[in-house]
Amino acid sequence: MALQALLFDVDGTLADTERDGHRVAFNQAFADAGLDWDWSVEIYGKLLAVTGGKERIRHYLDHYNTEFDRPAALDDFIIGLHQSKTRHYTELLNTGAIPLRVGVLRLLKEARAAGLRLAIATTTTPANVSALLKNTLGEDGESWFEVIAAGDIVPAKKPASDIYTYAMQAMNLTEKECIAFEDSENGIKSSMGANLKTIITINDYTVKHDFTGAAIVMDCFGEPDQAFNVISGDAGDKTYVDIELVNTLFERN
């Protein structure tokens, strides 16, 4: 069956959001709450093993700050912290501080021109996706994507495959008609758990992750004047990701 849709992860794939975006917003929320918690670049890299901001805060308390005097209503406390973090993060995105990664805008435009359908499959909070797409693609940025599957819309977050299954069902498509774009081990476990071929672009936090089974692993999508570096897989004579290469990778067994 022919390729019909491109399913994009957000954080680390569309934009490099974690180190200078989400991490900074978490620390701002902790400071607002009078907490002395400060997630360094290094600690945050470890905490990223757990997807979902609320789940990540709980993981931090369970494994890195066990001495913290937990309030009785811990879930509500975490939800409050996370809502504050989301406010800080969307405000940061609204300053235009975080651009799309290399080649993303060009690939999205090429896909639309080729009549391919687009969707988002992400663990992050929907408000974060809206802010990123509006600030990078323009006011109508969300409309480029037929489905925006995000955050708590599914019971189990990545590495579970729920979010990809949800997106395909919402589009009435199967894994034989879609390809996924991811950046992390949790992400490829999720996409391959849904039997999706997956194109990986790495970032500083995921460079050492296990991407076994990926259709290809690169440092970025590249541009005509900025070649990508292929870390594993075969891009033929291509030096940047275009729809022809995406189709070649989709059709390759």
Q: Which of 27, 84, 124, 201 binds ligand XBP (CB under 6 A)?
A: 124
Q: Which of 16, 44, 53, 81 binds ligand XBP (CB under 6 A)?
A: 53
Chosen from ligand XBP, Mg ion, none, partner binding at 128 (C-beta under 5 to 8 Å by type): ligand XBP
Sign of the C-alpha dihedral computed for residues 239, 242, 246 and 247 taken in this order? negative
CA angle, 167 then 168 then 170, to 5°: 65
Asked if 136 is part of the footprint of ligand XBP (rule: CB under 6 A), the reply reads: no
| Closest CA relative to residue 222, chosen from 244, 206, 205, 201 | 201
- Residue 221 near residue 246, CB atoms below 8 Å: no
**Is 222 an interacting residue with respect to ligand XBP (CB under 6 A)?**
no
- Provide the annotated active-site residues: 9, 11
CB 162 within 8 A of CB 119: no
Q: Which residues of 163-185 are buried (b: 16+ CB within 10 A; e: fewer)?
A: bbbbbbeebebebebbbbbbbbb
According to CB under 6 A, which one of 123, 165, 198, 203 is a site residue for ligand XBP?
Answer: 123
Residue number, 27 or 124, with CB nearest to ligand XBP: 124
Taking CB under 5 A as the binding criterion, the range among 5-13, 24-32, 34-42, 44-52 that sits at the site for Mg ion is 5-13
The entry of Mg ion, ligand XBP, none near residue 173 (CB within 5 to 8 angstroms by kind) is none
Q: Which is nearer to ligand XBP, 42 or 225 (CB)?
A: 42
> If we measure between CA atoms, which residue out of 135, 218, 167 comes closest to residue 6?
167
Q: Does 206 bind ligand XBP (CB under 6 A)?
A: no
Query: 22 or 82, CB closer to Mg ion?
Result: 22
- What is the distance between the alpha carbons of residues 49 and 59, in angstroms, rounded to a whole number? 9
Report CA 46 to chain centroid distance, whole Å: 17
The one among 11, 16, 18, 175 contacting Mg ion by CB under 5 A: 11
Pairing verdict, β 230-232 and 197-201:
unpaired
Question: Using CB distances below 5 to 8 A depending on partner kind, what does residue 162 bind out of ligand XBP, Mg ion, none?
Answer: none
Say how many CA atoms lie within 13 Å of 244 toward its Cβ.
6
Cβ distance to ligand XBP smaller for residue 54 or 235: 54
The H or E element that residue 188 is part of is: helix 185-193
Interface characters, 167-186, with Mg ion (x: CB under 5 A): ----------------xx--
Judged by the rule CB under 6 A, the positions of this chain that interact with ligand XBP are: 9-12, 18, 22, 51-53, 122-125, 128, 151, 158, 187
Judged by the rule CB under 5 A, the positions of this chain that interact with Mg ion are: 9, 11-12, 183-184, 187
